[in-house]
Amino acid sequence: MSIAAITGVGVVAPNGLGTAEYWSATLNGTSGIDRITRFDASSYPVQLAGEVSGFAAEAHLPSRLLPQTDHMTRMALVAADWALADAAVQPGEMPEFDMGVVTASASGGFEFGQRELENLWGRGPEYVSAYQSFAWFYAVNTGQISIRNGMRGPSGVLVSEQAGGLDALAHARRHLRKGTRLVLTGGVDSSLCPWGLTAQIPSGLLSRSTERGRAYLPFDAAAQGYVPGEGGAILVMEELEIAKAGCDRPIYGVLAGYASTFDPPPRSGRQPRLRRAIELALSDAGVVADDVDAVFADGAGVAELDRVEAAAISAVFGPYGVPVTVPKSMTGRLFSGGAALDVVAALLSIRDGVLPPTVGTGRPAPEYQLDLVTGAARPGTVRTVLVLARGYGGFNSAVVLTAPQV
């Protein structure tokens, strides 16, 4: 069976534009969480977010694309460009049906959608942009990346909230196994407009704190919800043997295992299924718990969800059995972009032999029995990493990444 290698990454994150800037900030514990500036959020119960700053779409994209794209699509297109450049892939030189695009999406282009709905109700149907016909769709990032790069192979979009970033990668791997040569995958999201934020608030999971450094505290006894963020990552996935044949190209690592499970309904009395997702992903990768050097946790920052995740990790690895980290504590939760960005961070940890810290959380709640990386980055050999992601409504996904075999 073919082996899925990651050969290029493109990052747009609240604490760094581009892979180098993001990784350096992440290892230094530099957070991108701050007051919402995109709109006046002063009357909202949620005041903080991880906004991508310094992103000027017109510097990266032709003006032809600007009127028809939401902010999140512009970021996705640029992340895709950077990932392709990183992998030294020229899409124009490959057969168009050999390349696919599979991204995750959680909400679609809400900022664009809100503006046009305001036009519809405030000024009349003749003022609604023709591009509203697709610019706010779940599948729009996949479609625009496909069109811009002439990629006409198997493509799609996965919608499973935060779990989507991992589900997309797994679906990309399925396409490789069926013979597609290259798949651009990952997720980039943004819902930081009044409509997007308002839609999230009723979940009750968002932090209402206005203290930048204390708002999002995964696994802390004082956890009070998560901070929303925007951005994410796009990755180039290729079959390992093909990837090896291209000289001078990085191979970041291999997507060795994956599994997803779905939680039982609330109050059913049945157990959550995250632990099962971990076990199935390890088994799919052909590794055992002892092989895993680190876990990049979902880190909801919500007591009940943190408890479930800590219990699953402890059950599989033993109490304090594996280093755990939550670099998204520096970006907020990026919806479909979060897990894709975690995968990039995990691959860079493998490359550099260092785990980024979890910021904010000083010490995890003792009952969780977690070896959480806090305070500063932790050096060490990293060859196998487990990345976890959960999506609102019961989605659990787990991915095992391994160092590229030489």
Distance of CA 148 to the CA centre of its chain: 22
Stretch in the footprint of another protein (CB under 8 A) among 58-66, 166-174, 255-263, 270-278: 58-66
Query: Is the Cβ of residue 64 or residue 270 nearer to another protein in the bound state?
Result: 64
Q: Determine which residue in the list 43, 63, 268, 381 makes contact with another protein, applying CB under 8 A.
A: 63
Under rule CB under 8 A, residue 179 binds another protein: no
Q: How far is the CB of 59 from another protein (least distance, A)?
A: 12
Question: How far is Cα 225 from Cα 209, in angstroms, rounded to an integer?
Answer: 9
Kindly provide the b/e burial profile for residues 92-124, where b requires at least 16 CB atoms within 10 angstroms of the residue's own CB.
eebeeebbbbbbbbbbbbbbbbbbbeebeeeee
Q: Check the CA dihedral 295-300-303-304 and report its sign.
A: negative
**168 C-beta neighbours (distance < 10 Å), count:** 34
- Give CA angle at 259 (400, 397), nearest 5°: 85
Stretch in the footprint of another protein (CB under 8 A) among 56-64, 93-101, 225-233, 318-326: 56-64
Q: How far is the CB of 67 from another protein (least distance, A)?
A: 5
Binding mask 15-54 for another protein (x = CB under 8 A): ----------------------------------------
Under rule CB under 8 A, residue 203 binds another protein: no
Q: Determine which residue in the list 56, 130, 222, 245 makes contact with another protein, applying CB under 8 A.
A: 130
Say if residues 151 and 135 touch (Cβ distance below 8 Å). no
Q: Determine which residue in the list 129, 210, 283, 405 makes contact with another protein, applying CB under 8 A.
A: 129
Question: How far is Cα 255 from Cα 258, in angstroms, rounded to an integer?
Answer: 8
- Give CA angle at 127 (122, 129), nearest 5°: 120
C-alpha distances in Å from residue 314, one per residue of 125, 223, 289, 302, 371? 56, 19, 11, 18, 10
Q: Determine which residue in the list 1, 40, 59, 64 makes contact with another protein, applying CB under 8 A.
A: 64
Binding mask 261-300 for another protein (x = CB under 8 A): ----------------------------------------
Q: Which two tokens stand for residue 352?
A: 């550099």
Under rule CB under 8 A, residue 126 binds another protein: yes
Under rule CB under 8 A, residue 62 binds another protein: yes
Under rule CB under 8 A, residue 320 binds another protein: no
Query: Is the Cβ of residue 112 or residue 296 nearer to another protein in the bound state?
Result: 112
Under rule CB under 8 A, residue 121 binds another protein: no
Q: Determine which residue in the list 57, 65, 94, 311 makes contact with another protein, applying CB under 8 A.
A: 65
Window 77-106: residues binding another protein (CB under 8 A): none
**206 C-beta neighbours (distance < 10 Å), count:** 26
Query: Is the Cβ of residue 80 or residue 339 nearer to another protein in the bound state?
Result: 80
Say if residues 254 and 4 touch (Cβ distance below 8 Å). yes
Number of residues that bind another protein (CB under 8 A): 13
User: What is the DSSP track for 83-130?
Assistant: HHHHTT--GGGS-GGGEEEEEE-SS--HHHHHHHHHHHHHT-GGGS-T
Query: Is the Cβ of residue 142 or residue 207 nearer to another protein in the bound state?
Result: 142
Q: Which residues bind another protein (CB under 8 A)?
A: 62-68, 126-127, 129-131, 133
